[in-house]
Amino acid sequence: MLQDIEPYLACPHCARPLTLDGRTLRCPGGHSHDLAKQGYVSLLAGDAHTGTGDTADMVAARGDFLAAGHYRPIADALAEAAVEAVADAGVDEGAADGGDGPGGDGPGALVADLGAGTGHYLAHVLDALPGRPGAALDISKYALRRAARAHPRIGAVVCDAWRPLPLLDASAGLVLNVFAPRNGPEIRRVLRPGGTLLLVSPTSRHLRELVDALGLLSVDEEKQRRIDEKLGPYLTPVGRREVEFTMRLSAEDVRTVVGMGPSAWHTDPARLAERLAALPDPVEVTASVTVAAYRR
């Protein structure tokens, strides 16, 4: 619910704290932001737009694929890493000053998911970290309609990952980033000292059978090095693990996984259908990601 994350939100126009008044968020500067009937709130700056967000079709495909459990090992690994990060930082011991608000590290410390999509991974992490509120941040309203219902402790916020995030300084104990854009300076700003970014990114082996057979976008082998270089000025790498497993996907599953990712923007439907027909049904497909931890 949005009430759970209200103490951590910042006005996108003046960066001052927001207060929930009925179904409207207000700041001391006089700016107001009304909640949508679907449960999310837009905290985009006035000149921003949502044209780069996932479409309704992409969100529906992602919801179906994730609900089928194909990526469950990734969600499990992320939740495990979140529990470890909290334990390593001593967050589970409670704050030294007993505070749970912005900058505090008590049981209520915020988990922010940058590029949260449907809220699937954030919900999985919140189940592993009882009592913590979660902010689902994404530019797609279609995705956030689902994220707002994904977990009772999720508040869903429309924002642009490449602009100042609508969160107060040092407000998050954990930031999640799963197959999503990464804004190093802003992630550092919203993380409390000692807080952790957990970043999930595909390796060059991810969906390799489909990349070759269907002509999908590929991931180069230098991706992780480039991520480390871009985050290096702001955060310190503290660990990583690879998660790799084989999925047995039906033709419909394959169509769905293509439709939910970046290849959906670049694939000709007629050519895709022709190539899909040539695949075995089911087909064995590799899932391969890196779960990396970075600390402020």
- Whether the per-residue pLDDT at 232 is higher than 50: the answer is yes
Q: Work out the mean pLDDT of the chain and round it to a whole number.
A: 88
Give the start-to-end residue ranges of the domains of the chain: 2-295
pLDDT interval class at 107 (50, 70, 90):
very low
- Whether the per-residue pLDDT at 26 is higher than 70: the answer is yes
Rounded average pLDDT over 91-95: 40
Return d(Cα 207, Cα 86) in angstroms, integer.
31
Q: Which of 184, 175, 198 is nearest to 109 (CA)?
A: 175
Q: Are 106 and 195 in contact (CB under 8 A)?
A: no
Give pLDDT, residue 266: 62
- Whether the per-residue pLDDT at 94 is higher than 50: the answer is no
Give pLDDT, residue 52: 62
Give pLDDT, residue 70: 95
Other beta carbons within 10 Å of 102 = 20
Q: Give residues with Cβ within 8 angstroms of 195, minimum separation 6.
A: 89, 170, 172, 173, 174, 175, 295, 296
More confident residue, 54 or 256: 256
Instruction: Sheet containing 236-249: give its strands across.
Output: 41-42, 154-158, 134-138, 110-114, 172-178, 191-202, 283-295, 236-249
- Whether the per-residue pLDDT at 234 is higher than 90: the answer is yes
Bridge partners, 19 (sequence order): 26
Q: Which architecture does CATH list for 2-295?
A: 3-Layer(aba) Sandwich (3.40)
Give pLDDT, residue 66: 94
Global pTM value: 0.90
- Whether the per-residue pLDDT at 262 is higher than 80: the answer is no
What is the b/e burial string over 31-59, where b = at least 16 CB atoms within 10 angstroms of the residue's CB?
Answer: bebebbeebbbbbbeeebebeebbeeebb
Give pLDDT, residue 278: 84
Return d(Cα 37, Cα 6) in angstroms, integer.
17
- Cis preceding linkage at 282, omega within 30: yes
Rounded average pLDDT over 67-71: 94
- Whether the per-residue pLDDT at 185 is higher than 90: the answer is yes
Return d(Cα 58, Cα 131) in angstroms, integer.
31
Q: Which of 217, 88, 110, 220 is nearest to 171 (CA)?
A: 110
- Whether the per-residue pLDDT at 243 is higher than 90: the answer is yes
Q: How far is CA 161 from CA 34, 179, 279, in A?
A: 21, 13, 37
More confident residue, 61 or 215: 61
Q: 127 by DSSP, 3-state: which?
A: helix
Rounded average pLDDT over 68-77: 96
Strands (E), 139-190: 154-158, 172-178
